[in-house]
Amino acid sequence: MSEYVPSPSSWVADQVELYERTNGAEGTTLRKTGLPVVIVTNKGNKTGAVRKIPLMRVADGKNYVLVASRGGAPTHPVWYYNLKAEPKVEVRDLGVVQSMVAREVSDTAERSRLWAIAVEAYPPYQEYQDKTDRQIPVFVAEPA
Ligand code: F42
């Protein structure tokens, strides 16, 4: 099993550490927004390292919607390439960790349905999309 390599951004790595150490009792929201966050464990597509990324919690039934927004940056977060290379992920939601399979949503009707759910859960996603001509990728993580 490859080892976990924390995010180089300390606030991200710290959130993962707190969330996991407390088994989802602390560190489970996006700072002062109070909005819920999940932790997605994925495999580095270049290093094979275990990577863990906090994302806003966007639930669609038993599935999760994973939004590669990166604050509306002109380029995808690199975890995008990890999920494309290895769709098997683990999603931690509070104290529950489940094996899931992530797929990028390409169907326009499905994407707009899921985008609406994502923006409802975290309105800034729309601002991020408005500020970049990169189409922000949307993944669905379904139970494995
Ligand atoms: N990011 C989002 O995109 N969407 C969200 O909804 C979101 C919510 C959120 C909530 C709380 C929080 O603390 C962070 C949140 N983030 C959200 C930020 C998210 O957790 C990520 O930090 C952010 O999306 C950037 O992801 P990233 O994968 O681009 O991270 C960079 C900084 C990174 O970790 N780079 C590493 C490095 O060393 O520079 C490499 C990481 C990696 O996966 N490397 C791969 C490997 O093989 O190991 C190769 C990847 C490649 O192809 O280059």
The predicted-structure confidence for 4-27, as pLDDT tens digits, reads as follows 999 999 999 999 999 999 999 999
Distance 121 CA to ligand 1 centre (A): 20
Instruction: For the chain, list residues with pLDDT below 50.
Output: none
Atom nearest to 11 CA in ligand 1? 13
User: Does residue 57 have its Cβ closer than 6 Å to ligand 1?
Assistant: no
Q: Detail the DSSP E strand segments found in the chain.
A: 37-43, 50-56, 59-60, 63-67, 88-93, 96-104, 138-143
Domain 10-143 fold: Pnp Oxidase; Chain A (2.30.110)
Could you report the per-residue pLDDT of 51-65, keeping only the tens digit for each?
999 999 999 999 999
> Residue 32: what pLDDT?
85
- For ligand 1, atom 9: residue with the closest CA: 55
Cα separation, 15 vs 122, whole angstroms: 18
Of the CA atoms within 13 Å of residue 25, those in its CB half-sphere come to 3
- Alpha helices (H) along the chain: 10-21, 79-85, 108-121, 124-130
Output the average pLDDT for the chain. Answer: 97
Q: Is 52 in the pocket of ligand 1 (CB under 6 A)?
A: no
- Residue 65's DSSP bridge partners are 140
